[in-house]
Chain A
Amino acid sequence: MTGALRRSAGIVGMVAILLFFTVSLPDTFLTLRNWLNISQQISMLAVVAVTMTVVMAMGDFDLSVGSMASLSGVVAAAAFLQGWPIPAALGLSLVVGLMGGVFNGVMVALVGILPFVATLATLTVFSGLAFLVSDGRTVFGRDIPSAFSDFARSGLPLSSGEGPALVLPNLTLVALGVALVVWVVLEQTTYGRRLYALGGNTEAARLAGLPVQALRLSAYAFTGVGAAIAGLMYASRVASANPTQGDGLMLTAIASVFLGMTLTRDGSPRVFATLAGVLVLGVLDNGLTQMRVDSYVREVLVGAIILVAVGMSALGRGSALRRS
Chain B
Amino acid sequence: MMATRSIFTSAVLVAGLSGAAAAQEVAVITPYLSQPGTQFYVDGFEARAEELGWDVNVVDTAGDVGAVISRIEDVVTRGVDAIVISVDPAQVGAGLQTAADAGIPVVGMDAGSDPLVAVNITSNGYAMAAETAVYVANRIGGEGNVVMFTFDPFPPVQVRGVVADAIFGNFPDIEVIDRITPDVSDGGIADSRAQMEAVLAANPEPGGIAAVWAAWDQPALGALQAIEAAGRAEEGIVITGIDANPQARDAIADGGNFEASVAQDFEGIGQTTADTVARILAGEELRQRVIYVPTELVTAANAAD
Contacts and interface: CB of A to CB of B under 8 A. Distances in A.
B77 A33 contact: yes
Given A136-B185, A237-B94, A23 B66 contact: no
Interface stretch (B84-92, B137-145, B168-176): B84-92
B1 interface: yes
Interface string A15-42: 0000000011111100101100100110
A288 B91 CA distance: 24
A41 B64 CA distance: 12
A23 B6 CA distance: 10
Contact of A240 (B60, B71, B91): B91
Classify chain A: how many residues form its interface, as a range. 35 or more
Interface in A153-189: 153, 163-164
Interface string B53-83: 0000111111111110111011101110000
Nearest to A294: B58
B75 A237 contact: no
Interface string A275-311: 0000000000110011010111001000000000000
A135 B185 contact: yes
A135 B78 CA distance: 39
A289 B69 contact: no
A243 to B, nearest CB: 12
Interface of B: 1, 4-5, 8-9, 12, 57-67, 69-71, 73-75, 77-79, 88, 90-94, 97-98, 101-102, 185
Contacts of A26: 5, 8-9
Contacts of A141: 90
A239 B95 CA distance: 12
A45 to B, nearest CB: 10
13 contacts: A28-B78, A37-B98, A40-B73, A41-B70, A149-B93, A153-B94, A164-B98, A164-B102, A238-B69, A289-B78, A290-B75, A294-B58, A299-B62
B1 A245 contact: no
With a 10 A CB-CB cut-off, give which of A28, A44, A244, A289 has the most chain B CB atoms: A289
A140 B102 contact: no
Contacts of A140: 88, 90-91
A24 B69 CA distance: 23
A318 interface: no
A292 B57 CA distance: 6
Given A26-B8, A289-B59, A239 B74 contact: no
A234 interface: yes
A255 interface: no
A112 interface: no
Contacts of B94: 152-153, 237-239
A290 B78 CA distance: 6
